Structure 1
Amino acid sequence: MPSVRSIEDYFGQIESLLYRQDWTNGEKISKFVSTYDEHAQEPFMHIEAYGSRSKRCRVSEDEVFDEIVCLHLHVLYNIHVAQDLITAQSTQIQIIQLFNKEILQKRKDENWFLPIFYRLCTDLRWLSKGAEACVSGDDEGDSNANSFFESAAKAITECYRTCVSDVHAEEGTTKKVAMLNMTNQLFQIYFQINKLNLLKPLIRAIDNCGSLYHDFLMSDKVAYNYFLGRKAMFDADLNLAEKSLLYAFRNCPADSMSNKRKILIYLIPVKMFLGHMPTSQLLHEYRLDEFQDVVAGVKDGNLAQLDGALAANEAFFIKCGIFLMLEKLRMITFRTLFKKVSQIVGTAQIPLDAFQTALRFVGVTDVDMDELECIIANLIASKKIKGYLSHQHQKLVISKMNAFPTLSGVSSN
């Protein structure tokens, strides 16, 4: 796309693109209303209330887009000159509302403009995050921050309702193809404000969209499965989490290393809970060496190594939102160690003293007999060990058949 040399050139390029209203030009126009495009950095684009000027450039081809462009200039002014992200965010909401009322609702037989809408929604999310940062130091910072995301979610949800109610079924004209992109936008907002329960009807709508799913952009499918997998992970639905995150990873472009890395941050813990450990080569390739000692500790049944790895990389794991989940790998690590003990003892009746000796050997000295019995009882209850505890004889009696079933087979229990 040619660079923008002046405000006149900016309006002229948009007007020329509007002469041919198709998806390709919609994608090109989307860059002209992005707060992150090169034109947004130009000082001549930072104009306050440009739409109220009597002498100004116009998008004469389309009055609605003329108003949208003028509001966009006002957003840029508030970002770069006034440095008022709160006003910038509220102005961006005005743009979304205008787009919904005058374009999504009134232009019945076309959808070429959806790439523009997607860009506007993405920028609204980023502006909401910026506005949140502006008030984070206030006494009422948290509630104010949430209000920015909630107002953004409200504006996008209104557009969502417009699009899903579109009666046109043809791929070339239906606005229903925007469902998945908007669901992804709302996923990201609700993750921010911890209101994932509001996603249930949106997920149900995608599950029931039938053949329309094939018309969604692959990039949106990858993003959706990434977010769905993260939600499933936090809901302890490991099978859905694995399925969704694997889809996202396999369909993410090979050259998108940073995105594939983001997916792996959540896929790796899920896989570990299902008994599949990542290779050292994979972790190194995607710059995820923080997991190296975590994986080694779980594989070897070495609690001290696992605890040390979690402590050393705590900040990284907390930032990713997986620290508490990784802590739960201690139970898998106990299981690995106890399986090794059972193989050494070689009988179905294993003295609890043998487990304590093994724990001391790997540097765990603070687990007394009562806690040990509790750990084993939890492993039995979750079906990770087949057997029973004999408190009277201080022994674990394990099944002679498959006493330590595969973790993937018990993941749903």
Structure 2
Amino acid sequence: MNDLAQHLNKINDCINNCNGFALATEFSTTEIITSRLYKTYNTLSAAKKQQIQIKLNRLQKIDSIVKRQHDIDVFVSNKLPQHYNEAASNRLRCISAIFESQYSEAFKHLTEAINSFVKVFELWSSNVLWKLSLDLRLLAELATEMNDDNNLNNSNKIDYYEEASRTLLSKCFQATNADRTANMAESKKNAALGVVNQLFHIYFKINNLKLCKNLINAVESPGFPSLDTYPLSQLITYRFFNGRLSVFNGAYKKAQQDLLFAFSKCPQTSFKNKRLILLFLVPMQLEQCKFPKKSLLEKYKLNQFIDIVQAIKTGNIKQFNDCLSTHQNFFISKGIYLILEKLKIICYRNLFKKVYLIHSGQRIPINNFLSALKWMENDSIDIDETECILSNLIYNGYLKGYISHKVALVVSPTNPFPKLPL
């Protein structure tokens, strides 16, 4: 029996036994797509690359037989139930097109495979729907990156693949959402989160975060299964994107909760993912005056944060400014520069607390704070700017007191610098 026949027999067994996990493995094209996404592939471990190579070798043997078939549809129809023929045939065509570096053709065939699969999708095959959704998004990235469709210019190409992916993934989500089964344990809605996560990837990439809210409202509504019933890997991804969304909405406490969950539950072996979570979690922790250890930042190659952490701890405004300037391009590229910039107020708070401790009185001349700012940050700063900083600290609750006639800061007799986080 040749490799293609064995492959189709395995798919048939999975269908007959309602084995969604095994069917997802057989249907997966993640490995072949990832092997062509060089930026992603080069970051993988040697063990992961070896796994991919084993799958590639198997797919190449299958593909060589597919190319010799006079009619692949007929061959597949003799091996599989009729309602799976179209999905399986188009998936095989997709693999052939990828091996031939015809990525726009591959995308078309995978789209057709998913459209066919959605028609026969059942709860037991939830993993297959998630795997196909993942592969669609990755293949859209590959087709855009490799630029093999001469009928589209660069900007149209990006719009086309992203829009086509978004439309089809939305259709997949609707296929799960349309199930009106009363018993949640038997509902297709249990397959929703994997698809939602792929849509999150796209919405963040195209910077259309408003669309995320609609998905969150649906998934967290009473008509959906409880979030903790979904696979942990999918829940980690979901909480990560929720955390990022909260970051950009200014809901920092919620962001911290979601990102902390994602980081703590993410496997230790997933170095790249844990580092990505930390990129957003560290600023949220700093906003709450929770300082990550230097060893943690070094472990995940986030040395850019080390001096910022030290500067905020000590109220060293100059060090804070220098660090932001030095790593500006990095922080901007990760979308966290403006968030870090807002942490400067905590730096001011910790500097002014030192002034208060040295003065050890309830009435502190504003010139004392001005002198500290001139020494630490900028010789040109004046009394009005100093007063403005003090006013902001009072307004935001970092300092308890009031300014008296632009001469002195009168601090509260009890706990003038409230313990952080507020």
What TM-score, normalized to structure 1? 0.85
- Return closer, same or farther for 1:132/1:342 CA change in 2, 3 Å cut-off: farther
Superposed, which structure 2 residues align to 1:397-412 within 5 Å? 397-409=410-422
Aligned partner of 1:257 in structure 2 is 271
Q: For residues 315 and 2 of structure 2, what CA distance do their matches in structure 1 show? A: 63
Superposed, which structure 2 residues align to 1:35-46 within 5 Å? 35-36=32-33, 38-40=54-56, 42-44=59-61, 45=63
What amino acid is the match of 2:110? Q
Q: CA deviation at 1:276?
A: 1.0
Q: For residues 400 and 349 of structure 1, what CA distance do their matches in structure 2 show? A: 10
Aligned partner of 1:381 in structure 2 is 395
Check if 1:114 corresponds to 2:126: yes
Which blocks of at least 5 consecutive residues in structure 2 are unaligned? 34-51
CA deviation string 1:323-353 (max 9, x = no partner):
2211222121111111111121122332222
Q: For residues 68 and 333 of structure 2, what CA distance do their matches in structure 1 show? A: 39
Q: For residues 103 and 23 of structure 1, what CA distance do their matches in structure 2 show? A: 13
Check if 1:123 corresponds to 2:135: yes
Aligned partner of 2:252 in structure 1 is 238
- Return closer, same or farther for 1:48/1:169 CA change in 2, 3 Å cut-off: farther
Q: CA deviation at 1:77?
A: 3.1
Q: What is the SS of the residue equivalent to 2:186? A: coil
Q: For residues 359 and 78 of structure 2, what CA distance do their matches in structure 1 show? A: 82
Aligned partner of 1:96 in structure 2 is 114
Q: For residues 57 and 331 of structure 1, what CA distance do their matches in structure 2 show? A: 65
Aligned partner of 1:107 in structure 2 is none
Please, which moves more after superposition, 185-194 or 140-149? 140-149
Q: What is the SS of the residue equivalent to 1:397? A: strand
**Which residue of 199, 215, 221 corresponds with 1:208?**
221
**Which residue of 349, 353, 360 corresponds with 2:374?**
360
Query: Does the 8 A contact of 1:26 with 1:112 survive in 2?
Result: no
Superposed, which structure 2 residues align to 1:33-182 within 5 Å? 35-36=32-33, 38-40=54-56, 42-44=59-61, 45=63, 53=72, 56-58=75-77, 60-81=79-100, 83-100=101-118, 102-104=119-121, 110-134=122-146, 141-142=154-155, 144-170=157-183, 173-182=186-195
**Which residue of 193, 204, 209 corresponds with 1:191?**
204
**Which residue of 242, 246, 251 corresponds with 1:228?**
242
- Return closer, same or farther for 1:190/1:399 CA change in 2, 3 Å cut-off: same
Q: For residues 16 and 420 of structure 2, what CA distance do their matches in structure 1 show? A: 59
CA RMSD of aligned residues (A): 3.0
- Return closer, same or farther for 1:49/1:78 CA change in 2, 3 Å cut-off: farther
CA deviation string 1:134-187 (max 9, x = no partner):
469x99644542332222111111121121221224466321101221221111
- Return closer, same or farther for 1:366/1:71 CA change in 2, 3 Å cut-off: farther
Q: CA deviation at 1:218?
A: 1.2
Q: CA deviation at 1:237?
A: 0.2
Q: CA deviation at 1:211?
A: 5.2
What TM-score, normalized to structure 2? 0.84
Q: What is the SS of the residue equivalent to 2:421? A: helix
CA deviation string 1:54-89 (max 9, x = no partner):
7645462223433222212322233331x3333333
Please, which moves more after superposition, 46-55 or 123-132? 46-55
Q: What is the SS of the residue equivalent to 1:277? A: coil
Q: For residues 71 and 386 of structure 1, what CA distance do their matches in structure 2 show? A: 67
Query: Does the 8 A contact of 2:90 with 2:109 survive in 1?
Result: yes
Q: What is the SS of the residue equivalent to 2:416? A: coil
Q: What is the SS of the residue equivalent to 1:408? A: coil
CA deviation string 1:106-141 (max 9, x = no partner):
xxxx412111111111111112222333469x9964
Q: What is the SS of the residue equivalent to 2:378? A: coil
- Return closer, same or farther for 1:304/1:163 CA change in 2, 3 Å cut-off: same
Calculate percent identity across the aligned residue pairs: 29
Q: For residues 408 and 68 of structure 2, what CA distance do their matches in structure 1 show? A: 79
- Return closer, same or farther for 1:371/1:173 CA change in 2, 3 Å cut-off: same
Q: For residues 367 and 413 of structure 2, what CA distance do their matches in structure 1 show? A: 21
**Which residue of 22, 27, 31 corresponds with 2:28?**
31
Q: For residues 6 and 49 of structure 1, what CA distance do their matches in structure 2 show? A: 13
Q: For residues 337 and 78 of structure 2, what CA distance do their matches in structure 1 show? A: 51
Q: For residues 69 and 407 of structure 2, what CA distance do their matches in structure 1 show? A: 81
What amino acid is the match of 2:276? K
What amino acid is the match of 1:61? L
